[in-house]
Structure 1
């Protein structure tokens, strides 16, 4: 018992010293947090969007989303709302033209909830009418942002050909 008691004080001091030493070593020498430099994709995307904004027919929304109407459906046609199920044909590409997904290539339209999509689609779909076909230019922050999505590198601007075919009734 005396041996344990005699070891307790030095052990406590060593624990305190070790914790203090670790704090002293880490805190003063830790570099201040710096914002990461924009990636090459982010810079290329910003340049593309700035140039594209001046192209004929391109509309830029306050969020940065850009679109161009390719074909207009009936002006009195319905527009989807959040919670609706939409039937669409689409093709997604990167700025270099690489197609990463296409319902057109599969030969079958996609049916999906209008609220389970990337932010760029969430903003565009309610502005579309059934029968519309638009080209969307989606800034990275309205797409997948800095996440690596396999074929879609981080900070990628996405270009979608989006055709709103219809909406399905929701019970």
Structure 2
């Protein structure tokens, strides 16, 4: 794990709070956040100029399903175990972790929407515009307003 290994999780917990098992259960309210058009255009330019073949999601992110996995897919209310790496568009890795568990509702919007596209054993690459990632706030090793690339393998739904 990189020195920022828990940056994603810690930021999400600070931003959304931590839900304990005995608290009110997650209510799967549909996410309505959509990336601004300028971010979508910038992300599409990156995708096109890099020769990446990816699917555009209506909320403004792109993804490739490297392996769909099998079985039921998680929901935003699921607790999951994943392995992942996060990169900037220049190729620099800013974070990675093997086999880490968390509730999807505690994470950035791009992960809440992207991970449920695969089942356990599957893997996905997410191309996230800033507003579906960390936005205008600089994070450890992540400049403000960065397009982020996450390779995520879903081990299991806990």
Instruction: Please report the RMSD computed on the Cα atoms of aligned residues, expressed in angstroms.
Output: 2.2
Corresponding residue for residue 63 of structure 1:
59
Give the length in aligned residue pairs: 120
Indicate the SS of the match to 1:129.
coil
Question: 2-side partners of 1:86 and 1:110: how far apart?
Answer: 8
- Tell me which of 90, 94, 97 is aligned to 1:96: 90
* Bigger proportion of residues as helix: 1
* TM-score (ref. length: structure 2): 0.69
Change (3 A) 1:132 1:153: same
Give the structure with higher Rg (CA): 1
Gaps of 5+ in 2: 1-37
Corresponding residue for residue 83 of structure 1:
77
Question: 2-side partners of 1:83 and 1:46: how far apart?
Answer: 30
Asked which structure has the greater RCO (Cα within 8 Å, sep 6+), the reply is 2
Corresponding residue for residue 138 of structure 2:
148
Which sits farther off after the overlay, 119-128 or 155-164?
Answer: 119-128
* TM-score (ref. length: structure 1): 0.64
Gaps of 5+ in 1: 1-42
Corresponding residue for residue 126 of structure 1:
116
Deviations 1:61-80 (A, max 9, x none): 11111001112212xx1111
